[in-house]
Amino acid sequence: MLTDAIRIDVPSGGGTYPVLIGAGLSSQIASLQPELNLAHRSLIVTSAPVWRLHRGALRSIAASGKPLVIPDGERAKTLATVKRIYDALVTRHLDRSATVVAFGGGVVGDIAGFAAATYLRGLRLVHIPTTLLAQVDSSVGGKTGVNLTAGKNLVGAFHPPVLVVCDPLLLKSLPVREFRAGLYEVIKYGVIASRPLLDRVSTCLPAILEQDPDVLTPLIADCCRIKADVVGRDEREGGLRRILNFGHTIGHALEAITHYRRFRHGEAIAHGMIASARLSAARGLMSAEDEASIEEVIARVGRLPRVRDLRSSDALDVLSRDKKVVNGRLHFVLAHGIGKAVVVADVGAPELRAAMRSLGMRS
């Protein structure tokens, strides 16, 4: 197993899997070859920018064949892209002993994970996330999926990986905007589960933006610990795991009505968190001071894309088809102060419209 790593074990229905976090870990993947047969029975799924920048990190397992390079970005999260992975698995005669290695950001992880979950009823999956958002969130927990025209992640499966390797050094090549988008997901974890984490983001923000490994590595680890605890108690999102969707309901709607072209995922979630915090304060669950502190740290991370030309009615139409609608009722996450979240099923259209209009959206 890899050395010099922070290790977090994530419980799942199929057994516990490790999340390893540490600078330079991606270059030690060769040590896993005897355990996972990565050299001879693997398919690396990646994107062109990631492979161009980081192919050296996986040189030891790339010898088994060229990686499958797929488009990146939410617009690539389609069943057509999944079919490309199926075709590559067939062409390479990979059987149920094979491993799919998802080497990229959250989109690559979601698509490759869904293909691994469904090909031959399940192949082993290794995540090597290359964006901050994927390292702190999407690579942990076993969610996979693709989008339909009607909405985001409407087709998917729960398929836990056998290993997640988070190497903060891989983040050095990220565009500034992409790195900042991932920080919004870190803020989410502070709001829903840890005031000290949110305070640390606020206090250490300059060092975080400089990607100081002494600050960034434990920050990633703390997010992964929170998620591991939540998914360990509710792997299939029957209750508790829904708190991880704080900011995501409205955020996903913003992505959908802009056809996944305007926002980085984290940016849309940031708008959603602001709206949800304001709704929480309006209901008396959160003080005005706490709401203001959430908005303040989000604003310090970076300027968000505009929403003033978007219509709340269009977003509400998308929300009516959200996968969090159960028996006709939308399950919505609110913040109970900072450090705790609650899931409610009584947030109606008037409240949602008011929250979105508070962002500056049109009716």
pLDDT at residue 152, rounded to an integer: 83
Residue pair 279/250 in contact by the 8 Å Cβ criterion: no
Domains parsed from the chain with CATH numbers: 6-173 (3.40.50.1970), 176-358 (1.20.1090.10)
Query: Which token pair is 96?
Result: 């149920």
DSSP code for 107: H
* pLDDT tens over the chain, length 363 residues: 555 789 999 999 888 999 999 998 888 877 766 666 665 688 999 999 999 999 888 877 766 678 999 998 888 999 999 999 999 999 999 999 999 999 999 999 999 999 999 999 999 999 999 999 999 999 999 999 999 888 888 899 999 999 999 999 999 999 999 999 999 999 999 999 999 999 999 999 999 999 999 999 999 999 999 999 999 999 988 889 999 999 999 999 999 999 999 999 999 999 999 999 999 999 999 999 999 999 999 999 999 999 999 999 999 999 988 767 776 788 999 999 999 999 999 999 999 999 999 999 999
Are the C-beta atoms of 248 and 285 separated by less than 8 Å?
no
**Strand 124-129, strand 99-104: pairing:** parallel
What single-letter amino acid sits at 314? D
Distance separating alpha carbons of residues 25 and 1, to the nearest angstrom: 11
**β-strand pairing of 17-21 with 163-166:** parallel
Give catalytic residue positions. Answer: 121, 143, 185, 227, 237, 241, 245, 248, 252, 265
* DSSP result, 47-63: -HHHHHHHGGGGHHHHT
Q: In this structure, are residues 299 and 339 in contact, taking their beta carbons and an 8 Å threshold?
A: no
Q: Cβ distance 156 to 289 under 8 Å? A: no
Residue 179 in contact with residue 265, Cβ under 8 Å? no
pLDDT at 5: 86
pLDDT, residue 151, reads 80
| pLDDT at 332 (0 to 100) | 95
What is the pTM for the complete model shown? 0.93
Gyration radius from the chain CA atoms: 20
CA distance 356 to 313: 10
